A = this chain, B = another copy of it.
Amino acid sequence: MIIKNNKDNMAKNVIVAQSGGPSPVINSSLRGIIETCRMFPDRFDRIYGGWHGIEGVLREELLDLSVQKEEEIALLRNTPAAGSIGTCRYKLKDKQVNDFNRLMDVFKVHDIGYLFYIGGNDSQHTALKVSEMAATQGLDLIAVGVPKTIDNDVGDNEFRLIDHTPGYGSVARYWSHIIQNANEENMGSSPSDPVLVIQAMGRKIGYIPAASRLADPQREMPLQIYMAESDVPLDLLADNVNDQLKRDGRCIVVISEGFDAGGIGEVKDAFGHTSFGSSRNSVFQVVVNYLNKKGLKARGAARGQVMGTDQRHTTAYASVTDLDEAYKVGQKAVEIALNDGNGWMATILREQGIQRQV
């Protein structure tokens, strides 16, 4: 068609989408992708956001981000969570051909040449499967993954694939502030509230609760951290708390939502992961009840709280380094699409001898 021929043959349209839990810096990656694509109009034509991730692509709910002004895109830096283009927890099943066929149709109809998918392990898997499917069908689609997770669990155990994941730094910074404030609270209120139990995210991996230590690197606070990996029965936990009470008269307990405190009526999401926020009980509540029933070696009662999604969607504590790195992985993903092609993920590797501020 004549209209087609009027435009540079190289230029194709772009879909950017994200899935999984949001982070305070996810929109910084989105901004990096959009602004970098706009620098190469001969390669990238229209930029669409898949509303609520791959689900929006399946439903052909594509937000035309090309029409947004430069200033509007820049505001993404300080926009938390995923309200801008949405996210999802939709699992593309390996043998579910309907979804894949539908995706290929949407890509063809909208002349999509590039897919940038922001997310964690499941999202990277989705991006990989889509890119493989496209290649099998001979579709000229370049899919690139953009890492994001608050759990810091993308990659391998030796940090060779990725050193740390955008999103984690801000959540770590959140916890360093939350615990410093909570320490002022606990120090002041200990005559009636000697034990403060605070539940952190991290279904299986302890990076988030462990970040509480950033509030107290010299270990001067009466702070105890229990991760999902901590193999501590409740009676030992209570003994630890009471030992702390005997020493300091107060204790702050940071506990992972995934800490094994017995059955709490878990609810599973579409990926089969436990959604602790929807469970019938919470670990912090089990621990508070156990401590108060067993008895504290101090006057007053244990109290608890669960910060919930606040830790993954609050701008106030976003780390500037994390915001910058999130932007750069978005930028890098576009560079990969231009120079390296299909099937990669942008990454962050640590150079020896370089220290970064969180």
Contacts and interface: CB of A to CB of B under 8 A. Distances in A.
Contacts of A12: none
A66 interface: no
Interface in A43-96: 52-53, 55, 79-90
Contacts of A53: 191
Given A183-B83, A281-B285, A188 B22 contact: yes
B308 A188 contact: no
Contacts of A289: 280
A278 B191 CA distance: 14
Copies of this polypeptide in the complex: 2
A55 B315 CA distance: 39
B82 A184 contact: yes
Contacts of A307: 305, 307, 310
Contacts of A285: 280-282, 285
A288 interface: yes
A21 interface: yes
Contact of A88 (B80, B192, B269): B192
Contacts of A52: 188, 190-191
A187 to B, nearest CB: 4
Contacts of A82: 184-185, 187-189
Nearest to A268: B301
Contact of A193 (B55, B79, B182, B277): B277
A270 interface: yes
Given A81-B185, A83-B183, A188-B87, A305 B277 contact: yes
A292 interface: yes
A301 B273 CA distance: 13
A8 to B, nearest CB: 34
B310 A188 contact: no
Interface residues of A, number: 63
Nearest to A52: B191
B84 A191 contact: no
Given A191-B90, A277-B304, A79 B22 contact: no
B303 A305 contact: no
Nearest to A278: B301
A21 B81 contact: no
Contact of A182 (B269, B280, B301, B310): B310
A310 B305 contact: yes
Interface in A236-271: 267, 269-270
Given A80-B185, A81-B189, A88-B191, 19 more contacts: A22-B188, A52-B190, A53-B191, A82-B184, A83-B188, A84-B184, A86-B187, A86-B190, A89-B191, A90-B191, A178-B314, A181-B310, A181-B313, A181-B315, A185-B312, A196-B309, A275-B301, A278-B288, A282-B285
Interface of A: 21-22, 52-53, 55, 79-90, 177-178, 181-193, 196, 198, 267, 269-270, 275, 277-278, 280-282, 285, 288-289, 292, 301-310, 312-317
